[in-house]
Amino acid sequence: MNMKQVTACVHAELRSNEAARKNDNALIIGVLHRLGVDTSVPFDQLVMNPHRPNFESITRARRKVQEEFPELRDLATASRRKMNAEAYEAYARNKKRNIQERQVTINDVPLTERRYSTALGYTTEWRHPNGNISKKDGDTSFTIVHFVKGMDGNDHRVFWHTSTLVAAVEYLNKQGE
């Protein structure tokens, strides 16, 4: 089965079945029925059927058809899919947004504090001359990351957790001695 045939089937299904515009599973079942694939068999037999198109090909064809024929989109579903895609892209890239930076002093040590949001929530980081301290909203401890020279002569990353920011700064101060 080539993509032109799959695309033609998807186009016909979207034209005749409004539920297929809102739900990829309804679209997949409708396309399989149009192609004469028996969907009453157990799922493992259905997915192993060599005479059916890949489900991903059907959803890819839906995106292509809906791009060319916007009237075949369900507006609420399209909006939700766009928001989900943006959230996933931010998660995949771990994109930092809304970065706020300021200088703070703790125990006479100047630190750069950065607060930003990602798809997973807010994080605050403090840059110390000897390492970094971070805390995600909702966490009960601070994570310290610094490097130590190993016996092999290479720098190795060390993680340490503490319950207060002051304790974290004191720990990093000692690492610089």
**Tens digit of each residue's pLDDT (9 = 90 or more) over 30-60:** 999 999 999 999 999 999 988 899 999 999 9
* DSSP bridge pairs for 113: 102, 126
Residue 116 CA from chain centroid, whole number: 16
As separate numbers, helices (DSSP H) first and strands (DSSP E) second, the chain gives 7, 6
- Name the residue among 74, 54, 55, 57 with its Cα closest to residue 66: 74
Supply the pLDDT for residue 119. Answer: 66
pLDDT in tens, 71-96: 999 888 888 888 888 777 766 666 66
Least confident residue range of 10-14, 67-71, 93-97, 98-102: 93-97
Q: Which residues contact 7 (CB under 8 A, 6 or more apart)?
A: 61, 64, 65
Match 């297929």 to its residue by tokens. Answer: 20
Supply the pLDDT for residue 97. Answer: 67
Output the six-digit token pair for 158. Answer: 């060390």
